[in-house]
Structure 1
Amino acid sequence: MAACVTVYHREGCHLCDRMFAELRSLQRRLDFHVQPVDIDEDPQLKERFNVKVPVLAVEDEILCCHFLDVPGLERALEPD
């Protein structure tokens, strides 16, 4: 079963766009699906992540902010 990778983002964010592009290329070899969450649609998320986007979480654990940590993502997606 594919892991859920959540990306907290906002529209118009170039770092967010870059992270989504990098994740798309990694999906070819890693088993995960991406759940985008626009922080501007939720006041609590906007307050929590406002200057940190994009924020990537794997199964509800924050893995990285601003830039994709590829080795960290690979470790997080390794089967137990």
Structure 2
Amino acid sequence: MTASAARVTLYSRPGCHLCDDARAVVAQVCAELGEDYVEISVADDPELLRRYGDEIPVTLVDGARHDFWRVDPARLRAALTR
């Protein structure tokens, strides 16, 4: 899945426990709603690390910033069903 084809993008980094929690929420909500998501590691891109490094994990919905640090399942579900 490419970032352009997925409605949800999760920016994360290896070894991040908040990223693990966010991934679980994103995966569950996307599966419930039949939506796709893509996960991108900021560790692989210096520009993404500079932009998002202090707020990881960061989620985008339809290309717009949605949440950082924690993902609220109800809020994500609402954003995806608008």
TM-score scaled by length of structure 2: 0.83
Q: Which has the higher helix share?
A: 2
User: In the aligned structure 2, how far is the partner of 1:75 from the partner of 1:61?
Assistant: 14
The C-alpha deviation readout for 1:3-48, integer Å capped at 9, x for no partner, is: 5210000000000011111222223321211111101111111001
Which ranges of 4 or more aligned residues in structure 1 deviate by more than 3 Å?
none
Question: Unaligned regions of 5+ residues in structure 1, if any?
Answer: none
Question: Unaligned regions of 5+ residues in structure 2, if any?
Answer: none
Other structure's SS at 2:54 match? coil
Q: Which has the higher strand share?
A: 1
Question: After the TM superposition, which residues 34-45 of structure 1 pair with which residues of structure 2 at under 5 Å, given as runs?
Answer: 34-45=37-48
> Is the 1:16–1:53 Cα contact (8 Å) retained in structure 2?
yes
Residue aligning to 2:31: 28
Aligned-pair Cα RMSD in Å: 1.7
> Is the 1:56–1:65 Cα contact (8 Å) retained in structure 2?
yes
| Alignment length (residue pairs) | 78
User: In the aligned structure 2, how far is the partner of 1:71 from the partner of 1:25?
Assistant: 11
TM-score scaled by length of structure 1: 0.85
Identity among equivalent positions (%) equals 32
Match of 2:58 among 55, 62, 79: 55
